Amino acid sequence: MNLEELFNRYKEQSIQGRYITLEAIEPLLEKFNTDNQVQVIGKSVLEKQIYKYEIGQGKIRIFMWSQMHGNESTTTKGLFDFLNVLNSGSGFALQLLNTFTFCCIPMLNPDGAELYTRENANKIDLNRDSQNLTQPESRLLRETFEAFKPDYCYNLHDQRTIFGVGDTGKPATLSFLAPAYNEEREVNESRMKAINLIAGMNEVLQKYIPNQVGRFDDSFNINCIGDTFQNLGVPTVLFEAGHFQDDYEREETRKYVFVALVSGFELLSENDIVGNGIGKYLNISQNKVVFYDLMYKNVKINYDGNEIITNFAAQYKEELVDGKICFNAYIIQIGDLENHFGHLVYDAKEELYKDDFDNLPKVNQKANFYLGNTKEFVNGLIKS
């Protein structure tokens, strides 16, 4: 099966970019709701509706949720691309629907999605509320889990551009985790199923994004929802959609989310999962904080009358302005950038740094500056 061709055919064109709100997905849910498959399961803190969508009649029950963190929208896009496949009427769709029953909460945190924040409207991280269940969104997730009784859980997230695949210099475009179920991080039957599934998906992804798949840290935290569900005996897979080169809108990354979803379900439906994939799982390099968005090397600065050569880096902050996400670059590190990489690297070749303040780069300062007499940088990029 050509998964790229399948993605291009079923990509949901109505949702693009990073800012995906409830209003964007409600028409899609309405389109899918041909036989009462879509239901309102409750409301958010700010009284926005939270939906679940159920489709299929197979024995293997799959529970999936996205945008638990409101500003993590890439997996929501990939999920709707996949749901388009399920609604296509194709032979492959029928195979999946006869094998699986899918229950999806495509946007658990609609308030956070609207505000473009990680937290909900009460400023609570829902992924740290799986035990206390203080928030209505957390309670709805748990109630749906208990009623649906899944065989597998898919916990769908985004991760920041700072993550790379070990020390390879490659960005972690997708990362996975089979969460621990106890403090000792032991592997039981349930966790092994998640490990085997990740190993299978990774083998497929390596054909598309070689060396750009990472493994997330498995430190145990029972307050995290994945750890809780794994602790309750349900194999749980954490997805973390990350950066692909020059893809800050994450339109390329959504394709690999789609590839992972489709390939994983294809492997499960054909019972083609390896029996003990822990070696392959552990061979996936662990995520490491090694990237800056923008890196400037060999920059000359005039410091107290002395000219020195240094480096500095800038990072984008995603800021919601008038309903759009703006990527605003701020200086974040000055000096030794050893063992770090930049998604974009500029060699100043000892040109003199100047800005409109005191001609010294400072942490948290907007990345607007000059190098030499002719090169102006605006928002971190050279002005053409």
Tens-place pLDDT, residues 12-51: 999 999 999 999 999 999 999 999 999 999 999 999 999 9
Amino acid identity, residue 230?
Q
pLDDT, tens digit (0-9, with 9 covering 90-100), for 271-316: 867 677 899 999 999 999 999 999 999 999 998 889 999 999 999 9
Q: Say yes or no: 183 and 253 in one domain.
A: yes
Average pLDDT over residues 84-105: 97
Separation CA 244–CA 239 (nearest Å): 15
Q: Say yes or no: 239 and 350 in one domain.
A: no
Whether 58 and 133 have beta carbons less than 8 Å apart is answered as: no
User: How sure is the predictor about 213, in pLDDT bands with cuts at 50, 70 and 90?
Assistant: very high
User: How sure is the predictor about 367, in pLDDT bands with cuts at 50, 70 and 90?
Assistant: very high
- Domain with residue 352: its CATH number is 2.30.40.10
Whether 3 and 94 have beta carbons less than 8 Å apart is answered as: no
Q: Provide the β-strand partners of residue 286.
A: 215
Q: Say yes or no: 158 and 283 in one domain.
A: yes
Q: Say yes or no: 19 and 164 in one domain.
A: yes
Final residue in a domain of this structure, among 267, 289, 311: 289
User: How sure is the predictor about 373, in pLDDT bands with cuts at 50, 70 and 90?
Assistant: confident
Q: Say yes or no: 154 and 295 in one domain.
A: no
Q: Say yes or no: 271 and 363 in one domain.
A: no
* Residue that is written with structure tokens 């993590």 in the block: 72
Q: Say yes or no: 267 and 371 in one domain.
A: no
Q: Say yes or no: 75 and 86 in one domain.
A: yes
Task: Give me the number of domains the chain comprises.
Answer: 2
Determine the pLDDT at residue 239: 98
Amino acid identity, residue 268?
L
Host H or E run for residue 205: helix 189-205
Q: Say yes or no: 270 and 330 in one domain.
A: no
Whether 312 and 335 have beta carbons less than 8 Å apart is answered as: yes
Separation CA 153–CA 71 (nearest Å): 21
Determine the pLDDT at residue 305: 83
Task: Tell me how far CA of residue 354 lies from CA of 322, 334, 342, 372, 376, in angstroms.
Answer: 31, 15, 22, 8, 9
Determine the pLDDT at residue 272: 67
User: How sure is the predictor about 75, in pLDDT bands with cuts at 50, 70 and 90?
Assistant: very high
Q: Say yes or no: 273 and 302 in one domain.
A: no
Query: Which contacts (CB < 8 Å, 24+ apart) does range 140-144 have?
Result: 140/41, 140/42, 140/50, 140/105, 140/108, 141/65, 141/68, 141/105, 141/108, 141/225, 143/41, 144/41, 144/52, 144/63, 144/103, 144/105
Q: Provide the β-strand partners of residue 176.
A: 215, 239
The region, left, alpha or beta by phi > 0 then psi within -120 to 50, assigned to residue 306 is beta
Separation CA 265–CA 104 (nearest Å): 15
pLDDT at 109 over 90: yes
Determine the pLDDT at residue 276: 78
Determine the pLDDT at residue 304: 82
The mean predicted confidence, pLDDT, of the chain is 96
> 314 is written with which tokens?
């800038």
pLDDT, tens digit (0-9, with 9 covering 90-100), for 142-188: 999 999 999 999 999 999 999 999 999 999 999 999 999 999 999 99
- Domain with residue 123: its CATH number is 3.40.630.10
Rounded to the nearest 10 degrees, how much is the dihedral formed by the CA atoms of 290, 295, 296, 302?
Answer: -70
Q: Provide the β-strand partners of residue 239.
A: 156, 176
Q: Say yes or no: 7 and 125 in one domain.
A: yes
CA atoms within 13 A on the CB side of 222: 7
Final residue in a domain of this structure, among 251, 267, 289: 289
Parent domain of 152: 3-289
Q: Say yes or no: 283 and 304 in one domain.
A: no
Separation CA 81–CA 15 (nearest Å): 10
Whether 331 and 361 have beta carbons less than 8 Å apart is answered as: yes
Final residue in a domain of this structure, among 236, 259, 289: 289
